[in-house]
Structure 1
Amino acid sequence: MRKTLAPKPPSFAALVQQFFTEYLVAQRALSPRTVACYRDALLLFLDFASRQLNKIPTTMRLADIQPDLILAFLDHLEQDRKNSVRRRNLRLTALRAFLKFAGRRDVASLHDVERALAVPMKRFERPMLNYLTRAAMVAVLGQPGESWSSQREHLLLTASVEQPSLLKKRVSPHILRHTTAMHLLQAGVPFNVIALWLGHESPMTTHRYVDADLAMKEKALGRLEAPDARIRRYQAPGALIRFLRTL
């Protein structure tokens, strides 16, 4: 009985091409801007990896992408290219997406891919969402004159007279988007509806608006009753405490 040979896995170069043409564009239908972000991340990594490994990208293998190489690349982004932690994590997200795709196409390299995927994201303080109050929004959207200059002056000056807090804010189309979403949330519109309106892939992204609204947090905490039970403080073993204090 003739033994069936396993198909030869695609080359590294073929995996990169398939990742962009088949997965990102054809299957996920991502926008050109998003595809460009993935492209830039892969270009930066391949340029760094080729210098570290002394290989041209076409001769690389998935097994070459080890955790140490990825960590060195991420340090290069932060220290040499002065990227923020958020930008660093975005580059890592693109690389992880490629590795997950490649691991399904090259099963023999799956162990190396899993080790590479273990490189974690770096924690950073996410800035609070900026938005306008309802009064400030009404001031921005007030009734200017018919001329273009009147409308411009109203947007830049008249609104700030009614709402002085606008002078300290940077009002942009993105801020207006946040403001609309926040007002919908404060009006009781469900999360899934707001997520659909914003175009969020996951409703979890919309929960950031709750984090930004301290009034909603205080209202939710006000509904809670203080517990009657007395909370006992945990006493850890002495050896454990000594170990932790040496860190």
Structure 2
Amino acid sequence: MPDLAALGPWLRRFLCEHIVTERNLARNTRTSYRDTFSLLLPFVSRKLRKPVDRLVVSDLTSGHVLQFLTHLEADRGCSARTRNQRLATIRAFARFVGSRDPAHVEWCGHIRAIASKRSMPPPVGWLTRAEMESMLAAPDRKTRRGRSEYALLLFLYNTGARVSEATQLRVRDLQIGSRNGGHNLVILHGKGARTRQCPLWPETERVLVDEITRRAGEDAVFISRLGTPFTRFGIYRLIERCAARVPELAGRTITPHVIRHTTACHLVLAGVDINTIRAWLGHVSISTTNIYAEIDLTLKANAVALCEVGQPRSARSWKEDKDLMTFLKAL
């Protein structure tokens, strides 16, 4: 079997060289790409009754890819957005192969011609100020464990950090206890190895100082009850437990990303401009941040009031404004 026909070498180059070295994609993106092919290859292997290590590039026909996408939705219960995400990965692989081997250009065209399914973005879930305060009041701050949980919740609300940014936070990333009028800051390591600084409230500084006492710069800021750094799953479970103690949140799914949305929405309500919010959340494009400008009914009601039909107008004609006419003629 010619090397250029075998699927394995192409896939290895794509996952180990192209998306890591050439494109420098984020770790979570690389994991998503890997998971797509971990699902796709066994599916095609079963269809063809052919071992995975003997698959060739042409075995990934557009028909098999379409069947795989249907399998994701029908059998695995994936949403249309997840289906489109998996398809985007397969298209990227096809583009990679087609751009390097002319013999696979036609195959690449068939794969890239598969259309994405239209999907509506999910509504942005967020908490009101009262609901967020109830969440913060859920941990028992009389105990050491409760104070640590409160510190984590308050940090997420203050910074709007992603859950991955919270789990990766180290003591050295905190600039607190500043002197000479300096600001208390945290350095967050976001997607694509990008970093940003976020100011901390005095209350956030106070609880974080209590958390990191007697820790080295390389130590994690947020430690679980087992004495190990918090994981993504641990933070999800913590927020789930706290939300269960708030009666107003019964029946709602509260995640770390809901708290991130809450931070953004509260900044919008406070009158912070959208570009500042973009920098605060670490969005690359302001179009991502624009969703927060559309969610608050109060802002929409104020906008409608500005253009309400039937409001009384001044009966005075512009021609009667002698000072205005004099001004215009003098120009």
Which residue number corresponds to residue 215 of structure 1? Answer: 298
- Residues 195, 203 of structure 1: 8 Å contact kept: yes
| CA RMSD between the two structures | 3.5
Does the C-alpha gap of structure 1 residues 202 and 60 become closer, same or farther in structure 2, counting only changes over 3 Å? farther
Assess if the C-alpha contact under 8 Å between 1:24 and 1:30 holds in 2. yes
Question: 2:42 maps to which residue?
Answer: 47
Specify which of 127, 133, 137 is matched with residue 128 of structure 2. Answer: 133
For 1:139-194, what per-residue CA distance to the aligned partner results, in whole angstroms no more than 9, with x for missing partners? 444698751277679x959x95xxx6344544443222111111223334344443
Q: 1:58 to 1:150 in 2, by over 3 A?
A: closer
Instruction: Tell me the residue number matched to 2:219.
Output: none
Instruction: Identify the residue that residue 27 of structure 1 maps to in structure 2.
Output: 22
What SS class does the counterpart of residue 14 from structure 1 fall into? helix
Once residues 57 and 48 of structure 2 are traced to their aligned partners in structure 1, the CA distance between those partners, rounded to angstroms, is 13
Range with greater deviation from structure 2 (137-146 or 121-130): 137-146
The change in CA–CA distance for 1:170 and 1:83 in structure 2 (over 3 A counts) is: closer
TM-score norm. by structure 2 comes to 0.53
Gaps (5+ residues) in structure 2?
A: 151-240, 310-331
2: CA distance, partners of 1:47 / 1:156 = 40
CA distance in structure 2 between the aligned counterparts of 1:144 and 1:81, rounded to whole angstroms: 36
Unpaired stretches in structure 1, ≥5 consecutive residues:
1-7, 227-247
- The 1:204–1:97 alpha-carbon spacing in structure 2 relative to 1, beyond 3 Å, is farther
Aligned to 1:187: 270
In structure 2, C-alpha distance between the alignment counterparts of 1:170 and 1:76, rounded to whole Å:
26
Deviation at 1:42, TM superposition (A): 0.6
1:209-237 CA-to-partner distances (Å, cap 9, x unmatched) read 234333334444444577xxxxxxxxxxx
CA contact (8 A) 1:132 1:176 kept: yes
Give the aligned partner of residue 16 of structure 1.
11
| Structure-1-length-normalised TM-score | 0.69
Contact 1:128–1:211 (CA under 8 A) maintained in structure 2:
no
Contact in 2 for aligned 1:19/1:101 (Cα 8 Å): yes
Q: CA separation of 1:76/1:186 partners in 2, compared to 1, >3 Å: closer, same or farther?
A: same
For the 8 Å contact 2:80–2:119, the answer to whether it is kept is yes
- Find the aligned partners of 1:123 and 1:173 in 2 and give their Cα distance: 27
